[in-house]
Amino acid sequence: MNDEAIIRLEHVRKQLTMKNGGEEIVSVILPDISFDIKRGDFAAITGPSGSGKTSLLYLMGGLDKPTSGSVFLDDQEISALSEEELASMRNQKLGFVYQFHFLLPEFNALENVMMPMLARGRFSTSEARSRASELLSRLGLSEKLHNKPNQLSGGQQQRVAIARALANNPSVLLADEPTGNLDSRSAETIYKLFSELNRETGQTIVVVTHDEHFASETKRILNILDGQLNSDKRLE
């Protein structure tokens, strides 16, 4: 890891305004939060349910925009981009892993991982197939390339989702509760995969998790309480 910030949040505020009859109700999710993620960081965002963790991750990934303040990725203010520019940026620079894998059921593991590469148009079909096969093999799924999601275990499906998230060689991998639906053995496999990715390739990884064991395997824990940064602890 170096000292260069790859993600930077400056005085980010996120609020929702709802109408109840003729009355407007403002709900503040993130009142004012600032921090950065260094290139090569492996960080966990922790905190109780409703503390704003997932909202924070979505803002970092350009899936949502702040009410005020700025979010930067590679020194580009993504909070100021149009929806079309954001979609292009996400496809080029970000990989997402969710608690639910969202694999396309009609396609096999190999085809699911090829999808983002073909959508971006950076790889030919043969190149995309080769890279997808390589990623799945690295994640221990070399014998499952042609299996559809319903022929895979929960842990295997999540590993396919991780391979898909890595397909376009993203600058940052963002994961929202990636072990939330897994048994302890499958979760342990995911911990090790993320740790190896970060250690061996320098992949920047940010994970939202309730899992204290997972958080302890990272290099940094940012604890969020009531939408604010409660603590920022380095473990290395």
pLDDT tens digits along 157-178: 988 998 999 898 899 999 998 8
The pLDDT of residue 2 is 65
CA distance 118 to 207: 26
The pLDDT of residue 26 is 84
CA distance 208 to 222: 10
Query: Where do the DSSP E strands lie in 152-219?
Result: 172-176, 204-208
Do the Cβ atoms of 145 and 133 come closer than 8 Å?
Answer: yes
pLDDT tens digits along 25-40: 888 899 999 999 999 9
Do the Cβ atoms of 159 and 139 come closer than 8 Å?
Answer: yes
Classify 219 as helix, strand or coil: coil
Token pair of 152 as six digits: 């895979």
Contacts of 82 (CB under 8 A, 6+ apart): none
Cα separation values, 31 from 38, 47, 71, 91, 177, Å: 23, 16, 15, 29, 23
* Residue spans of alpha helices (H) in 14-172: 53-60, 83-93, 109-120, 125-138, 154-166
User: Residue 44: pLDDT band by 50, 70, 90 thresholds?
Assistant: very high
Which range among 19-23, 48-52, 135-139, 186-190 shows the weakest confidence by mean pLDDT? 19-23
CA distance 55 to 66: 10
| Element (DSSP H or E) covering residue 201 | helix 184-201
Domain 5-234, architecture per CATH: 3-Layer(aba) Sandwich (3.40)
Over pLDDT 70: what percentage of the chain? 99
CA distance 234 to 213: 15
CA 99 to chain centre: 10
CA angle 193, 176, 91 (to 5 degrees): 85
Longest dimension (CA), the chain: 59
